[in-house]
Structure formats: C-alpha cells, structure tokens
Amino acid sequence: MSCAAVVLAAGGGRRYGMPKALVEYEGSLLVERAVRTARAACDVVLVVLGAQAVDVWRTADLSGATVLANKDWETGMASSLRTGLDGLRGFPGTVDAALVTLVDMPGMTPEALRAVAAHAAPGALAVATYDGVRGHPVLLGREHWAGVVETATGDEGARRYLTSHDVTEVDCTGLADPADLDVPPPGVPSAP
C-alpha cells in the first residue's frame, strides 16, 4: 500500500514566540528534521507551511518534500491538515493513506513512523500510543479523508473524527519521544 507523510509545519508558534518551523534544534531547523525523518519512512513527503512560509522555504533544506502553502494557517491545525490531504488528492498516482506528523516533535523517529505506516490501507485509521496515551503520528486511510476534512476545526485536526471511529492503536513506546516543543527550553531564546 502507498503511504505518504504529511508534515504539519504551518503554525505561528504563539506560545513559542516564533514559527516552530524556523526553530533550530540540535544543529538543524525543526522542519528540516521532521522532513528528514518522514523521508526515512515514506517515499512521498508533503510539508505544509504557513507562518513565514517564504522565510521557511528560503532557509530550510526541504529536499525530497513537496511544499504546500496553507494561506489559512492562522485558523489552526485543521486548515493545515485539510491543505495536506487536498494536496495528496492531486498527487500523481494513488496514495492509500496519509501519515500525519508534526513539526514540533524533534524526538520522532523513522521507526515510529514505519510502525504506524505498516497499517496503511485505504480504509485504515491508526494512531501511535506511548504508554497507553494516543499521540503522533496518525494514519488516515484515503476513504476517511473527506470525513476528516469535514470534521476538522481549529487546532483539533482529526481528533473529533478519530473519537467516533474504530482506530488501531500502535504501541510506539520506546520507539520515539512523543514530547512536543510548545515553549523554548529554559535558557533558550524564543526568537533570533
């Protein structure tokens, strides 16, 4: 089955103080790290940009990824998810499932992405769990895209849709660190 990664990297990073796509972490930008990780797990990678998209596009090495711009990024993650899924619909060839991951999870690994991607099928819904708690990545089979797009609002993304459907939980405990960077670590400036 064909699975494509969708990296959501459009947010303005209100709590962080700058777009997280432009945050440097251990020698590279978070968006570069997310794209590299996704490319190690999927042949097709789309990255959705929004806040300071031109700066991200000019600054970041996004080799091997198709860049999509979300003009409605300020309305929340749901608009970025819609942008990514719409982008996959127009992608050459058939993609059976979208593997959705976030830019602000530097501890994500190809192993965790592959574990969830292994469930790819047009009718599949799967989510990574860490010590029994749902997290990312999330796998959305093609047959569910319209329903996800219809129910996604604000910063919720696919959450509402997933709570009303059968979802395969994939234990990724120990495969990745599910923590996201909502605020700068102590001692790290929030903006250059």
Provide the residue-wise pLDDT of the chain in tens; the chain has 192 residues.
Answer: 699 999 999 999 888 888 999 999 999 999 999 999 999 999 999 999 999 999 999 999 999 999 999 999 999 999 999 999 999 987 767 899 999 999 999 999 999 999 999 999 999 999 999 999 999 999 999 999 999 999 998 888 899 999 999 999 999 999 999 998 876 665 555 555
**For residues 48 and 84, is the Cβ–Cβ distance under 8 A?**
yes
Whole-model pTM? 0.93
What torsion, rounded to 10 degrees, do the Cα atoms 119, 64, 177, 111 define?
Answer: 40
Amino acid at residue number 150: E
For 3-171, CATH gives 3.90.550.10
Domain residues of the chain, as ranges? Answer: 3-171
State which amino acid sits at residue 134. R
